[in-house]
Amino acid sequence: MIDKIKELISEAESFKAQSKDEVEAFRIKYLGKKGLLNDFFAEFKNVANDQKKEFGQTINKLKKTAEDKVNALKAELESTEEVKGIYGDLSRPGGEPVQIGARHPISIVKNQIIDIFSRIGFNVSEGPEIEDDWHNFTALNLPEYHPARDMQDTFFIQTDPDILLRTHTSSVQVRYMENNTPPIRTISPGRVYRNEAISARSHCFFHQLEGLYIDKDVSFADLKQTLQHFTSEMFGKSEIRLRPSYFPFTEPSAEIDVYWGGLETETDYKITKGTGWLEIGGCGMVDPNVLENCKIDSTEYSGFAFGVGIDRIAMLLHQIGDIRLLSENDVRFLEQFKSAL
Ligand code: PHE
């Protein structure tokens, strides 16, 4: 009997397995309830007294050998499985192509505008969306109680009237002039907020891109030429209309309209309100008070500023009839911009 056990010990020592199932079968054969070891232990009482010691030692050795083998094989199989987990089955054919996302139409249009202005020497600057009264209003020639503050329904942060969500990107003009000296050529894209009813045409947040040009002898003609260059690059159309308007921070001021014409599609009709013209923003010569507020000598320098609505431009270019689509993140809508830039 002892010889039989010794044979089993060397069998167990040389056992090899390819899978967890084989290891389990081995474990059951040796260590299971009805396994060999239990049979030998049951046999113990029948063994002659003088052999008991050797018999006991041998079955204990068999037990230990089988247990060690099971543990070693399990560890080995797990570590090879881990490797498979990292690299997968390297011989497998290529699977489904990875789904590539699309840029948001606002980002597409923003990048196009940045490209156009970068080519004529403008850099890109940014400012915070949570602003203080000074940068959003006061420095822009809108002192407290100025009636024009009502033009922009403001969201205030908690109860502090000094902290608000910026209502326009003109706040970045102020920050830029405070921190840089002329000549200045910068554009500032960003999100702005107004407490307005949400509809197909307006939203409580949208995107603007501010432009600021400060140097010696800058004139209104420079402003008009710059805007015309922009619209012809952006839309392939350079017919623009500057309608006299009012902004406290520019003098004179104008509203910028682009002639889109056509009216072929329902969306064009809707977006241009049936006139063929689309207002894309405001502009004007920077008011000397604003320059002085930002510590720029208004007797030496002049400049122009403009602010255009990115959402409006995106809607026109991509025939989007409802501004709300731009913030709903409906994948069926966003997927359509895969082929765009
Ligand atoms: N900040 C103005 C608006 O939001 C646009 C503007 C920018 C007008 C710069 C003039 C100069 O309506």
Q: Relative to the CA of 253, which ligand 1 atom is closest?
A: 10
Name every protein residue with a CB atom under 6 angstroms from any ligand 1 atom. Answer: 168, 170, 210, 247, 250, 253, 281-284, 305-307
pLDDT digit string, tens, across residues 148-185: 777 678 998 877 888 999 999 999 999 999 999 999 99
**CA dist., res. 153 & res. 162, Å (int):** 15
Q: Which of 29, 319, 121, 78 is nearest to 40 (CA)?
A: 29
Token duo for residue 302: 């002049």
- State the CATH architecture for 105-340: 2-Layer Sandwich (3.30)
SS3 of residue 334 by DSSP: helix
By the 8 A CB rule, do 256 and 281 touch? yes
Q: What is the pLDDT of residue 333?
A: 93
Residue boundaries of the structural domains of the chain: 2-87, 105-340
The protein residue whose alpha carbon is closest to atom 4 in ligand 1 is 168
Closest protein CA for atom 10 of ligand 1: 283
> Which ligand 1 atom lies nearest to the CA of residue 286?
11
What is residue 109's predicted lDDT score, i.e. its pLDDT?
A: 96
- Given a contact cutoff of 8 angstroms between Cβ atoms, the answer to whether 280 and 257 are in contact is yes
Closest residue by CA, ligand 1 atom 12? 282
Written as six digits, the tokens of 145 are 């109680």
Following DSSP, what letter does each residue of 61-106 receive, concatenated?
Answer: HHHHHHHHHHHHHHHHHHHHHHHHHHH--TTSPP-SPPPP----HH
- Tens digits of pLDDT across the chain (341 residues): 888 889 989 999 999 988 888 999 999 999 999 988 888 888 888 888 888 889 889 989 999 999 999 999 888 888 776 666 667 777 777 777 777 788 999 999 999 999 999 999 999 999 999 999 999 999 999 988 887 777 678 998 877 888 999 999 999 999 999 999 999 999 999 999 999 899 988 899 999 999 999 999 999 999 999 999 999 999 887 789 999 999 999 999 999 999 887 667 777 777 777 888 888 999 999 999 999 999 999 999 999 999 999 998 998 888 898 999 999 999 999 989 887 65
Instruction: Find the 338 Cα to ligand 1 centroid distance in Å.
Output: 32
Q: Pull the structure tokens for residue 171.
A: 């706040």
Residues whose CB falls within 8 Å of the CB of residue 303, separated by 6 or more in sequence, listed in order = 182, 184, 212, 213, 214, 215, 218, 285, 286, 291
Query: Of all atoms in ligand 1, which is nearest to the CA of residue 306?
Result: 9
Nearest residue to 76 (alpha-carbon basis) of 30, 18, 24:
18
Q: 251 a known binding residue?
A: yes
Whole-model pTM above 0.85? no
DSSP 20: H
Query: Which ligand 1 atom is the nearest neighbour of the CA of 192?
Result: 4
* Phi/psi at 92 (5° precision): -70, 145
